[in-house]
Amino acid sequence: MKQILVSGVLGLFLSLFGTPLLIRLLASKGYGQMIRDDGPQAHHSKRGTPTMGGIAFILATLLAYAITKLATGEKPTLSGVLVLFLTVGMGLVGFLDDYIKIVKQRSLGLRAKAKMAGQLIVGIAFAVLAMNFHDSRGQTPASTKLSFTTDFGWSIGPVIFVIWALFMILAMSNGVNLTDGLDGLATGASVMVFAAYTVIGVWQYGQWCGAPVSANGACYEVRDPLDLAVVAAALMGACFGFLWWNTSPAKIFMGDTGSLALGGALAGLAICSRTELLLAILGGLFVLITMSVVIQVGSFRLTGKRVFRMAPLQHHFELKGWSEVLVVVRFWIVQGMCMAVGLGVFYAAWVAAS
């Protein structure tokens, strides 16, 4: 448990004090945000705000995890390292996208095919590695069974598992990316989901099948639950520190560097903790915002009419007259309720199985 506290506190302070250094560096190089002309007009005042801020909390997370291991004398686990690999890999794809936007002054960044190719390469590498490298109990970081609060049903096989893992990684990465449209919105929502995964990791470790005695015969077949909690705590702390600078009025934006990394981290935690379908509840705000885009595009193509004034959903409420801060706070409340429901479902499933 000491590891969780240390990683969370380190992630917080490294991000809190490291982000201003990144802001000054990016500002000195003129790496400012491009604003799309078809977005809300109020957003044009944000043009030139330093972007690629995801670099700050990615580095803070990596340093927090590494220092925690050195300070406590504990060894890194494959599950923890794989989640960090997925986070960094997706962040690198986002960084290339941001860099092209800034250097070439092209608001759409990487071409769609190139961006998708990068995400696929990182996602496939993660999925293949996660199915291998058994520990002494024969457990791998990921299972080829589907999971809700634990694994269920039959194995879907390695090929379908890779496809499923890719779907989750792409869905969450793009979900966080779509949510990252208002100051602090995606960062604050991510803090809540990482907090939930910290709790889940701690609980799974307390009822772990790898422990000498399992309560009431029921236990969680997860390879490295405690280390997943350490990673989640480091991510939570790092995002919390970044939120100090990212909240309205934002001094820095996370960019695709941050949003893709956060989506990858969420998907990786869900896959390795065997809570894949539960992530749709825990990260309900990201799902809601993604679905608003799907509904908007589908409705326009089928009927020629739009359901919302603008998609993603947060911009619809902006155009209805809600202030940016009002939208963010109310959406945080929605996300908080999703997190609470998700944790409630997780605990209820344990009670039912015990």
The string of DSSP letters for 195-234 reads HHHHHHHHHHHHTBTTSSS-GGG--B--S-HHHHHHHHHH
Quote the CA–CA distance of 69 and 6 in Å, as a whole number. Answer: 10
Backbone phi and psi for residue 38, each to the nearest 5 degrees, phi listed first: -90, 5
- Position 106 scores a pLDDT of 62
Residue reference for tokens 């990252």:
180
If you average pLDDT over every residue of the chain, what do you get? 91
Whether 11 contacts 82, CB under 8 Å: no
CA count, 13 A, side-chain hemisphere, 266:
38
CB 56 within 8 A of CB 22: yes
Q: What is the pTM of this model?
A: 0.93
Quote the tokens at residue 189: 């929502």
Q: Is the pLDDT of residue 209 over 90?
A: no
Does the pLDDT of residue 246 top 60, yes or no? yes
Across the range 118-145, mean pLDDT stands at: 93
Using left for φ > 0, alpha for ψ between -120 and 50, and beta otherwise, residue 134 falls in: beta
User: Which structure tokens are listed for 241?
Assistant: 């520190």
Q: Which domain holds residue 319?
A: 1-353
Task: Report pLDDT for 212.
Answer: 63
User: Considering only CA atoms, which of 249, 288, 235 is closest in space to residue 42?
Assistant: 249
Q: Where are the alpha helices (DSSP H) in the chain?
A: 2-29, 54-72, 78-103, 112-130, 158-179, 185-206, 225-246, 255-272, 279-282, 284-303, 313-319, 324-353
246 in a labelled binding site: no
**Comparison of pLDDT for 23 and 217, the residue scoring more:** 23
User: Considering only 45-59, 111-125, 323-337, which range has the smallest mean pLDDT?
Assistant: 45-59
Share of the chain above pLDDT 70, in %: 92
Written as six digits, the tokens of 40 are: 């809300």
Q: Is the dihedral of CA 271, 274, 278, 284 positive or negative?
A: negative
216 marked as part of a ligand binding site: no
Q: Is residue 231's pLDDT more than 70?
A: yes
Residues in the chain: 354
Query: Encoding tokens for residue 177?
Result: 């990316």
Token look-up 């000195």 returns 28
- Mean pLDDT is lowest, of 85-99, 184-198, 209-223, 288-302, for 209-223
Cα–Cα dist 26/31, whole Å: 5
Q: For Cα atoms 235, 237, 243, give the angle at the middle one, nearest 5 degrees.
A: 100
- Asked if 350 and 208 count as a contact pair (C-beta separation under 8 A), the reply is no
pLDDT score recorded for residue 36: 54
Q: Residue 211 pLDDT more than 80?
A: no
The pLDDT of residue 34: 58
Number of domains within the chain: 1
3-state secondary structure of 315: helix
What are the residues facing 32 on neighbouring strands? 50
What residues form DSSP beta bridges with 151? 147
Looking at residue 203, what is its pLDDT?
95
Q: Which two tokens stand for residue 15?
A: 């991000």
